[in-house]
Amino acid sequence: MIPSLSFFHINTPSYQRSIEPSEVKRLQHLNRRLIGLCVLLLASLTASVEALDRFEFTQPQMGVPFRIILYAANEGEAEEAATAAFARIGQLNTSLSNYETDSELSQLGYQSGTSRWIDVSRDLFRIIQRSQKLSQLSEGAFDLTIGPLAASWRNARRTQTFPERKQLERFRKRVGWHHIKLDHSQNKVSLRIPGMRLDPGGIAKGDALDQALEFLLKRGIKNALVAGAGDIAVSSPPPGKTAWKIQLSEFNHKSQDLPSYVHLEDKAIATSGDLYQFVELNGVRYSHIVDPRTGLGLSERRLVSVIAPQGITADSLATALSVVDLTNVAPLLSAYPGVSARIVSIENNEPREQLFGDFQNYLAR
């Protein structure tokens, strides 16, 4: 952004005097020089903005490709910043992975049901704390303890077979956000039911976007985009632009329809739905998103996009809004200032769009 130039008025005594012609010429000359200097200053500032080049980096993290687009003065500066951002995402994955048996999150699950208070890192505590708040507000539609059920449905997609009913009932007894206890003063956690497993798949990627942008900013990168799967977070727009233009995910568009876009600055957007991850069993399409309250993959087709000030909020709310009844969407969003949502549902084989909050204001063609 080019800073504005301020001109200061100097107060003079309240008497009047005549100005000689030679003095008038001198003042006119000084005025022309001042204007010339301002023009040169603006040109220099503009040139410095235009000197930023676009760089793009991709790296697998958290089981998906993460992409960073940034603007920097040179390649060395760009690579150093991107390397730091990816390292931060990798650090989070080491703590939050539910696939790696030696991760901090997995180790916490192995100690469930012991009534012990476990010291956890600030990263893991932040994820659990934010999840618990959303679980309470959504009345269990979002639940970090869904790990056993989520694993069962991952196996169902892999084997193309319905999970065993007795197994689902057994796993449901291990699920329940209210079985997590937090000691906020000491960053300690206790999982009270044996066999509990946490699954941060609906919140961790959004948090990783926030952390990556923060690391980029610390290294002087002010214009950046970080994307992981269906989650995107951006800082200031590219030089010379007013916003980042991001295409929305859709169900099957008709050929004559134009794609929809949103314009974002210092915001995050997350999209959740069953476009790619689902399984069809006995004529029913089940999403990879599991309702913690029933233990079943969602069968109602819904595509949710959430715009929020932070990635962690957008990511987790996109998951929660996929599960809650549509009548509860607006009340839930009211607890999160500055958050907007777009929900496209399939009704009678036709998409039905609903916008919440200020989502309309972000839309662009």
Taking only the tens of pLDDT, the chain with its 365 residues reads 333 322 223 233 333 334 455 554 554 554 555 445 444 444 444 444 458 999 999 999 999 999 999 999 999 999 999 999 999 999 999 999 999 999 999 999 999 999 899 999 999 999 999 999 999 999 999 999 999 999 999 999 999 999 999 999 999 999 999 999 999 999 999 999 999 999 999 999 999 999 999 999 999 999 999 999 889 999 999 999 999 999 998 876 554 466 789 999 999 999 998 777 888 998 899 999 999 999 999 998 999 999 999 999 999 999 999 999 999 999 999 999 999 999 999 888 888 899 999 999 999 86
**Distance, first Cα to last Cα, the chain:** 25
pTM: 0.84
Which residue is associated with the tokens 């859709």?
Answer: 250
Range 53-98+200-236: architecture per CATH = Roll (3.10)
CA dihedral 191, 197, 202, 205 (to 10 degrees): 90
The domain segmentation of the chain, as residue ranges, is 53-98+200-236, 100-191, 242-365
Fold matches, 53-98+200-236 and 100-191: no
Let me know how long the chain is: 365
Contact 71, 52 (CB under 8 A): yes
At 73, the amino acid letter reads A
Among 95, 90, 67, smallest CA distance to 233 is for 67
Distance CA 136, CA 139 (A): 5
Element (H, E) at 36: helix 21-50
Among 249, 269, 272, 270, smallest CA distance to 260 is for 249
Contact 338, 309 (CB under 8 A): yes
CATH H-level, domain 100-191: superfamily = ApbE-like superfamily (1.10.3980.10)
What's 242-365's CATH class?
A: alpha beta
